[in-house]
Amino acid sequence: MITVFIPAKGNSVSVQSKNLQKVGNFSLVRRALNSTYESDMVDNIVLSTDSEAVVHELGDFLQIGNLTKGFLELKEGFVLRVLSQGNKNFILHRRRSEHATPDSRTIHSVIDYLGIEEILGLSTSSVFLLQPTSPFRLERELDVFINYFLLEPQIPLASIKRVESPHPQKVFLYSGQNQVNFSEEEISRMTSPRQSLAEYAAFDGAFYGSSVSKLHEANSFVGPETRTFLRHGHCTINIDSHEDLSYARFVSTIEPW
């Protein structure tokens, strides 16, 4: 079984109620859910949250009026099968409070969910993580990612973007002092043409994929060996700040998302 896991904490340090912020006509969490709908390969869609407001948003999305009440009755760490539609199960996971702090890692909630799948009679083989903070996934891109993962399912896969400006080799540590002392090597690197420097990349947050066995082994979606899925342009925007959110909202007015 293939499971898509969508993490949606209620609180965020950078942007208040970040997962409920709208880009275009939809909230970030709704956009993540939307991107799973056209997939023919997904068996389970799991929303993991500690937020009543996020659940209310999901209830409207699935047209289930009493979903919030069901969420409030759930114990932390437990799940509620919300709806089976076609070949997909929609599952609500009540994230534990210790996994909902600003510095908690998403993998803890993923492992927590996998530990209680037996209750639902499910058996996931691969998990795909979709961060709501990456709002611009292309049509059917999830299926492309899953198919690429399945070529070598024993190796984790993560989406990435090139890091070009500022180039990582042109940055320096800043202590807050008025004067910075550079070594000759740093000066040479920072004054070199960008084209002569090594190519760098970063995870863009849109897609991660791993087998369940590798998740338990590495306690992470990224392992010592990780394949990459290169993405380009505006679709790689990842919202970490108010500036990112404003930029994403602007992009949504000029691109057919």
What are the structural domain ranges in the chain?
A: 2-160+202-254
> Distances in Å between the alpha carbon of 214 and those of 131, 157, 163?
19, 11, 27
Q: Which residues pair with 6 in a beta bridge?
A: 47
CATH placement of domain 2-160+202-254: 3.90.550.10
Tell me, what's the pLDDT at 216?
Answer: 94
Residues 6+ apart with CB under 8 A from 227: 148, 149, 152, 155, 156, 157, 158
Tell me, what's the pLDDT at 211?
Answer: 97
pLDDT along the chain (257 residues), means of 10: 93 80 93 89 94 89 85 93 84 92 91 90 94 93 96 97 85 83 86 84 96 94 95 93 94 83
| Strands, E assignment, the chain | 2-8, 22-23, 26-27, 44-49, 79-85, 88-94, 126-129, 157-163, 200-211, 227-230
Give this prediction's pTM: 0.90
Tell me, what's the pLDDT at 13?
Answer: 65
C-alpha 159/C-alpha 145 separation (Å) is 8
What long-range pairs does 195-198 form, CB within 8 A, spacing at least 24?
197/167, 197/169, 197/170, 198/169
